[in-house]
Amino acid sequence: MEKKKYIRFDWAMKRMLRDKSNYVILEGLLTTLFKEKITINRLLESESNQEDELDKYNRVDILAENCRGELFIIEVQNNDEYAYFQRMLFGVSKLVTEYINRGEGYQNIKKIYSVNIVYFDLGQGKDYLYHGKTEFMGVNTGEILNLSPFQRQKFNVDAVSELYPEYYILTANDFNEKPSNLLEEWMYYLSTGDIPQDSTAPGLSEAREKLKLAMMSKGELSAYYRHLDNTVILRDNIYTSRGEGLLEGREMGRKEGMLEGMLKGMEKGLAEGMEKGFTEGMEKGFTEGIKNAKVQMIKNLKSAGASVEFISDVTGLTKEDVDELL
């Protein structure tokens, strides 16, 4: 197996890309993703991107502001988090309130882009890039609610969705295809840690020069490989706990299923028994009712002076049956 030559992107974000001289790498990723030139003005601190002990090896994020005052929160999530969708929402919501002063008009709320690079299966989907934005659609007409000419001029945007936060999810856990466009070149690096020499996506040539493992000191390399080991250990712990929980859940489900099956079998047997008894009772009662009605009719005819031959003709019974019933 070929030894990796370049530093993983999450470690680069943690230790190297916060240096202004390396902004060009982050700018390259954003420029490729948004398909327009993005220039980072400064990096910011936020309550939403403070690292705690649990996140030390699992999550890395950077908050950047571009030359237009728009905010970009770039987050790398290494291991599975089932509530990650809500986490994205929380992070963006915090920024909305942090970067508007009390008393300011709502028109001063900053545009926020949430860029999420995840190394696990988030939901169900096969694409490597997902984009989420807010639109308002007519319930009856299906039309998209648009800004008025005054609003477009006032806010300097063309659509309502441009006023709201937007979300991008890049699933880098298993992308190993031969890149066919600029974003896929970035996805290949994010997924494999390798940067082919023929890569032309913005920022990757700088990453190839600045993110070489060979440029790290012995101490930096030790810390880097320790980070990789801890990331793997954390992932293994998560998967082990999940596997144990799955086995336990299956065993409990099996036992509960057996009990439920027994109860349902008893209920079904009782119901079928009652239904069968009711049906048989109805049939028996109906048969006996017809027989009693015939006996009464025969007796009435006999009392009226009818002969056995006449009664036999009317009822369809044989003379012997008539005599027996009388």
- Evaluate whether residue 293 is within a structural domain: no
- Evaluate whether residue 40 is within a structural domain: yes
Say how many domains are in the chain: 1
- Evaluate whether residue 131 is within a structural domain: yes
Beginning with the edge strand found earlier in the chain, give each strand of the sheet holding 40-44 in spatial order.
40-44, 59-66, 71-77, 112-118, 166-171, 129-132
Q: What is the pTM of this model?
A: 0.69
- Evaluate whether residue 15 is within a structural domain: yes
- Evaluate whether residue 102 is within a structural domain: yes
- 10-residue block means of pLDDT along the chain (326 residues)? 77 91 96 97 73 55 94 92 94 92 89 96 94 97 97 96 97 90 97 93 96 88 80 52 55 62 60 57 54 70 75 75 75
**In which domain, by residue range, is 56 found?**
9-215
**What pLDDT does 168 receive?**
98
> CB–CB of 78/10 below 8 Å?
yes
- Evaluate whether residue 283 is within a structural domain: no
